[in-house]
Amino acid sequence: MKTAVGIKIIKTVEEMKDFVREERKSCRTVGFVPTMGFLHEGHLTLIKKAKEQNDTVILSIFVNPTQFGPNEDFEKYPRDEQRDLTLAAKEGVDVVFLPSVDEMYPTFPTTKLTAIDRTNVLCGKSRPGHFDGVVTVLSKLFHITMPDKAYFGLKDAQQVAVTKGLVEDYFFPIEIIGVETVREEDGLAKSSRNVYLTEKEREQAPHLYESLRQAITLVEQGERNKQKIRESILAHINEHTDGEVDYVDFYRYPSLEEITVLEEKIIIAIAVKFSQARLIDNVILDIEK
């Protein structure tokens, strides 16, 4: 099926599998960009990277109900299918996989995937079951699209870490590509949830990244005391925003193991709650470098 904007849309699992089989017969490499839609520049950067590295690019748009908790925003999650298709066509996506919930979850499952590591920290700590839903839907999508490479934004670095664990555990023949966070000119990480910020909150939100930049400066100056760096981040956010800090955490990356000393590769991650939006951001640092 082709839309008015000239992009091929596939809505069923079997048709998607048939398409990929034909690509394989032609020895074409496949890059896959899984999304929940409401595309922004961060997603478009993933598409560009996939276009650079593959012959064919598949974009999926599917708001996955199994990764939303009982009190989370599944119904409110922003959706704009026509806009998404127009942007995908402009970026040169070859196929958009646009399944329904019934297509992806046609029957009651006979098995269950559970993410047991890298999940009880950061956002996963307050969202029990969230990453079970993530690994479940990604397992389905990976089997359906059979890509050589799959692309994820490092803004959600925990999701990238969990996905790499999934691929390693189950020997998926897929390379996971983490792409640097795409930001607005003022530093705010691009996110579909930014639309929920009030005008005042939008003015304050860039200070999340500014607090992380200050943390980087402290590390570059030789500071290795986690508490001092955490206090710097907290002080900056509390002084410059009305948001409520959910967490400021430090972990080894991508294992997300606890650290007592800043060494090797680490992530400094933050989450801040505003009136209608919870924003996350992070920096990943190689301390030895």
pLDDT tens-digit map of 185-244: 999 999 888 989 999 999 999 999 999 999 999 999 999 999 999 999 999 999 999 999
Instruction: State the DSSP H helix or E strand holding residue 251, giving kind and residue range, or none if neither.
Output: strand 244-252
Instruction: State the DSSP H helix or E strand holding residue 161, giving kind and residue range, or none if neither.
Output: helix 157-169
Q: Is 43 annotated as ligand-binding?
A: yes
Residue 33 has pLDDT above 70, yes or no: yes
Q: Confirm if 205 and 241 have CB atoms less than 8 A apart.
A: yes
- Paired with 9 in beta bridges are 96
Question: What is the predicted pLDDT for the residue at 2?
Answer: 58
Residue 157 has pLDDT above 70, yes or no: yes
**Annotation says 43 is catalytic:** yes
Q: Is 53 annotated as ligand-binding?
A: no
Q: Is 190 annotated as ligand-binding?
A: yes
Residue 12 has pLDDT above 90, yes or no: yes
> What percentage of the chain carries pLDDT values higher than 90?
85
Superfamily of domain 192-286 in CATH is Pantoate-beta-alanine ligase, C-terminal domain (3.30.1300.10)
Residue 4 has pLDDT above 50, yes or no: no
Q: Confirm if 55 and 42 have CB atoms less than 8 A apart.
A: no
Name 75's Cβ contacts closer than 8 Å, sequence gap at least 6: none
Domain range annotation of the chain: 8-179, 192-286
- CATH for 8-179, options being 3.40.50.620, 3.40.1580.10, 3.40.80.10, 3.30.70.1560: 3.40.50.620
pTM: 0.91
CA distance 60 to 37: 8
Q: For 83-121, how does the pLDDT look when each residue is reduced to its tens digit (9 = 90+)?
A: 999 999 999 999 999 999 999 999 999 999 999 999 999
Q: Is 41 annotated as ligand-binding?
A: yes
- Paired with 268 in beta bridges are 250, 283
What integer best gives the mean pLDDT of the chain? Answer: 94
Stretch 28-47: mean pLDDT: 95
What is the number of alpha carbons within 13 Å of residue 102 lying toward its C-beta?
0
Instruction: State the DSSP H helix or E strand holding residue 123, giving kind and residue range, or none if neither.
Output: helix 122-126
Task: Give the active site residue among 43, 130, 207, 236.
Answer: 43
Question: What is the predicted pLDDT for the residue at 115?
Answer: 94
Give the sign of the dihedral formed by CA 58, CA 62, CA 68, CA 73. Answer: positive
Question: What is the predicted pLDDT for the residue at 128?
Answer: 87
Buried b (16+ CB within 10 A) or exposed e, 159-175: bbbbbbbbbeeeebebe
Token duo for residue 197: 């910020």
Q: Is 156 annotated as ligand-binding?
A: yes
Q: Is 153 annotated as ligand-binding?
A: yes
Give the sign of the dihedral formed by CA 91, CA 60, CA 148, CA 168. Answer: positive
Q: Is 250 annotated as ligand-binding?
A: no
